[in-house]
Amino acid sequence: MTDETKPCPVCAESIKAAALKCRFCNTDLAAYAAEQEAAVERVLFHGHPVVHQTFGHWVVTVATLGLGGIYFWFRSRAITYTLTTHKIEIARGLLSTLEQTIELYRLDDFDVHRPLGMRLLGLSVLHVRSSDPDMPVAFVQGVRGLDTIVDQLRECALRDRQRRRVTTFVNA
Protein backbone atom coordinates (compact mmCIF):
# COMPACT_ATOMS: atom_id res chain seq x y z
CA MET A 1 0.00 0.00 0.00
CA THR A 2 1.17 3.49 -0.82
CA ASP A 3 -0.09 6.91 0.21
CA GLU A 4 -2.29 6.91 -2.91
CA THR A 5 -4.05 3.63 -2.09
CA LYS A 6 -5.78 2.05 0.89
CA PRO A 7 -7.46 -1.29 1.58
CA CYS A 8 -11.24 -1.51 1.28
CA PRO A 9 -12.67 -2.07 4.80
CA VAL A 10 -15.09 -4.71 3.47
CA CYS A 11 -13.22 -6.76 0.86
CA ALA A 12 -9.61 -5.66 1.63
CA GLU A 13 -8.81 -5.01 -2.05
CA SER A 14 -6.48 -2.11 -2.83
CA ILE A 15 -8.43 1.03 -3.83
CA LYS A 16 -7.50 4.68 -4.28
CA ALA A 17 -7.27 6.70 -1.05
CA ALA A 18 -9.76 9.29 -2.35
CA ALA A 19 -12.30 6.65 -3.44
CA LEU A 20 -15.90 7.10 -2.31
CA LYS A 21 -16.95 3.63 -3.43
CA CYS A 22 -15.05 0.35 -3.71
CA ARG A 23 -14.80 -0.74 -7.33
CA PHE A 24 -14.59 -4.42 -6.34
CA CYS A 25 -17.44 -4.91 -3.83
CA ASN A 26 -19.38 -1.70 -4.68
CA THR A 27 -19.51 -0.59 -1.01
CA ASP A 28 -20.28 3.07 -0.28
CA LEU A 29 -17.34 3.88 2.01
CA ALA A 30 -18.92 6.94 3.68
CA ALA A 31 -22.10 5.01 4.53
CA TYR A 32 -20.03 2.08 5.79
CA ALA A 33 -17.97 4.38 8.04
CA ALA A 34 -21.15 6.01 9.40
CA GLU A 35 -22.65 2.59 10.10
CA GLN A 36 -19.52 1.50 11.97
CA GLU A 37 -19.53 4.71 14.01
CA ALA A 38 -23.19 4.24 14.94
CA ALA A 39 -22.44 0.72 16.16
CA VAL A 40 -20.04 2.09 18.81
CA GLU A 41 -21.82 2.91 22.05
CA ARG A 42 -21.08 6.35 23.52
CA VAL A 43 -22.17 7.67 26.91
CA LEU A 44 -24.35 10.79 26.68
CA PHE A 45 -24.87 11.15 30.45
CA HIS A 46 -23.83 9.18 33.50
CA GLY A 47 -24.57 10.37 37.01
CA HIS A 48 -27.08 11.11 39.71
CA PRO A 49 -29.97 13.55 39.66
CA VAL A 50 -29.43 16.88 41.42
CA VAL A 51 -30.18 16.94 45.13
CA HIS A 52 -32.85 19.65 45.08
CA GLN A 53 -35.04 18.90 42.07
CA THR A 54 -37.82 21.39 42.75
CA PHE A 55 -38.26 24.70 44.49
CA GLY A 56 -40.32 22.81 47.11
CA HIS A 57 -37.25 20.75 48.03
CA TRP A 58 -35.46 23.97 48.96
CA VAL A 59 -38.44 25.09 51.07
CA VAL A 60 -38.48 21.75 52.95
CA THR A 61 -34.71 21.90 53.49
CA VAL A 62 -34.88 25.41 54.96
CA ALA A 63 -37.99 24.60 57.07
CA THR A 64 -36.36 21.51 58.60
CA LEU A 65 -33.05 23.30 59.23
CA GLY A 66 -31.16 21.10 56.77
CA LEU A 67 -32.56 17.68 57.73
CA GLY A 68 -34.68 17.61 54.59
CA GLY A 69 -31.52 18.32 52.56
CA ILE A 70 -29.87 15.21 54.01
CA TYR A 71 -32.91 13.15 53.01
CA PHE A 72 -32.89 14.59 49.49
CA TRP A 73 -29.13 13.95 49.19
CA PHE A 74 -29.54 10.24 50.06
CA ARG A 75 -32.51 9.99 47.72
CA SER A 76 -30.46 11.54 44.92
CA ARG A 77 -27.52 9.20 45.48
CA ALA A 78 -29.83 6.17 45.38
CA ILE A 79 -30.50 6.76 41.67
CA THR A 80 -27.94 6.56 38.87
CA TYR A 81 -28.82 7.33 35.27
CA THR A 82 -26.75 6.16 32.32
CA LEU A 83 -27.93 7.43 28.94
CA THR A 84 -25.97 6.07 25.99
CA THR A 85 -26.42 6.01 22.24
CA HIS A 86 -27.95 2.50 22.53
CA LYS A 87 -29.81 2.34 25.86
CA ILE A 88 -31.17 4.04 28.95
CA GLU A 89 -30.11 2.46 32.25
CA ILE A 90 -31.65 3.36 35.59
CA ALA A 91 -30.05 1.90 38.74
CA ARG A 92 -31.90 2.36 42.03
CA GLY A 93 -30.64 1.67 45.54
CA LEU A 94 -27.70 2.45 47.79
CA LEU A 95 -26.61 -0.87 49.26
CA SER A 96 -28.38 -3.28 46.94
CA THR A 97 -29.33 -2.00 43.52
CA LEU A 98 -31.92 -2.78 40.89
CA GLU A 99 -30.82 -1.98 37.34
CA GLN A 100 -33.41 -1.48 34.63
CA THR A 101 -32.51 -1.05 30.96
CA ILE A 102 -34.46 0.14 27.94
CA GLU A 103 -32.86 -0.37 24.54
CA LEU A 104 -33.34 2.73 22.38
CA TYR A 105 -34.75 0.78 19.45
CA ARG A 106 -37.68 -0.15 21.73
CA LEU A 107 -38.61 3.47 22.47
CA ASP A 108 -42.10 4.33 21.32
CA ASP A 109 -42.34 7.90 22.51
CA PHE A 110 -40.89 10.32 25.00
CA ASP A 111 -41.94 13.68 26.33
CA VAL A 112 -40.15 16.39 28.26
CA HIS A 113 -42.18 17.82 31.14
CA ARG A 114 -41.22 21.11 32.77
CA PRO A 115 -43.19 21.69 35.98
CA LEU A 116 -42.90 25.19 37.46
CA GLY A 117 -40.82 24.14 40.47
CA MET A 118 -38.27 22.38 38.26
CA ARG A 119 -38.32 25.06 35.59
CA LEU A 120 -37.26 27.64 38.20
CA LEU A 121 -34.14 25.52 38.78
CA GLY A 122 -33.50 24.83 35.05
CA LEU A 123 -34.53 21.15 35.26
CA SER A 124 -37.07 18.93 33.52
CA VAL A 125 -38.47 15.38 33.51
CA LEU A 126 -38.06 12.93 30.63
CA HIS A 127 -41.10 10.62 30.39
CA VAL A 128 -40.22 7.54 28.31
CA ARG A 129 -42.68 4.98 26.91
CA SER A 130 -41.34 1.81 25.35
CA SER A 131 -42.44 -1.51 23.87
CA ASP A 132 -40.31 -3.32 26.46
CA PRO A 133 -42.71 -5.50 28.52
CA ASP A 134 -40.45 -5.33 31.59
CA MET A 135 -40.26 -1.53 31.61
CA PRO A 136 -43.07 0.12 29.64
CA VAL A 137 -42.68 3.52 31.38
CA ALA A 138 -39.63 5.26 32.83
CA PHE A 139 -38.84 8.69 34.20
CA VAL A 140 -35.50 10.50 34.12
CA GLN A 141 -35.62 13.58 36.28
CA GLY A 142 -33.29 16.04 37.92
CA VAL A 143 -30.63 16.02 35.17
CA ARG A 144 -29.19 19.33 34.02
CA GLY A 145 -29.08 19.85 30.24
CA LEU A 146 -31.73 17.20 29.62
CA ASP A 147 -33.12 19.17 26.68
CA THR A 148 -29.97 18.68 24.60
CA ILE A 149 -29.67 15.05 25.66
CA VAL A 150 -33.25 14.39 24.51
CA ASP A 151 -32.46 15.62 21.00
CA GLN A 152 -29.46 13.29 20.87
CA LEU A 153 -31.57 10.39 22.21
CA ARG A 154 -34.18 10.94 19.51
CA GLU A 155 -31.53 10.79 16.76
CA CYS A 156 -29.85 7.76 18.34
CA ALA A 157 -33.18 5.91 18.65
CA LEU A 158 -33.92 6.45 14.95
CA ARG A 159 -30.39 5.40 13.99
CA ASP A 160 -30.60 2.31 16.21
CA ARG A 161 -33.92 1.29 14.63
CA GLN A 162 -32.42 1.63 11.16
CA ARG A 163 -29.29 -0.27 12.18
CA ARG A 164 -31.35 -3.15 13.59
CA ARG A 165 -33.92 -2.90 10.77
CA VAL A 166 -36.81 -2.54 13.23
CA THR A 167 -40.15 -1.19 12.07
CA THR A 168 -43.12 -0.17 14.18
CA PHE A 169 -46.75 -0.74 13.48
CA VAL A 170 -49.20 2.00 14.29
CA ASN A 171 -52.80 1.16 15.10
CA ALA A 172 -54.89 3.41 12.89
pLDDT of the residue at 114: 92
Of residues 170 and 97, more confidently modeled:
97
Cβ proximity of 130 and 136 under 8 Å: yes
Q: 164 falls in which pLDDT band (50, 70, 90)?
A: confident
For 21-47, write each residue's pLDDT tens digit. Answer: 999 999 999 988 888 887 889 999 999
Of residues 1 and 158, more confidently modeled:
158
| Euclidean distance between CA atoms 97 and 79, whole angstroms | 9
In terms of residues, how long is the chain? 172
Query: DSSP 3-state assignment of 127?
Result: strand
Q: Does the pLDDT value for residue 67 go beyond 90? A: yes
Sheet hosting strand 107-113, strand order edge to edge: 107-113, 125-130, 137-141
Q: How many CA atoms lie within 13 A of 58 on its CB side?
A: 8
User: pTM score, two decimals?
Assistant: 0.83
- Enumerate long-range contacts of 121-127, CB under 8 Å, 24 or more apart: 121/50, 121/52, 121/53, 121/54, 121/55, 123/50, 123/53, 123/54, 126/150
**How far is Cα of residue 55 from the mean position of the Cα atoms in its chain?**
26
pLDDT of the residue at 9: 92
Q: Does the pLDDT value for residue 159 go beyond 70? A: yes
Of residues 71 and 165, more confidently modeled:
71
Domains of the chain, by residue range, sit at: 5-38, 41-164
* φ and ψ at residue 22, rounded to 5 degrees: -75, 130
41-164 belongs to CATH 2.30.29 = yes
What average pLDDT score do residues 140-151 get?
Answer: 91
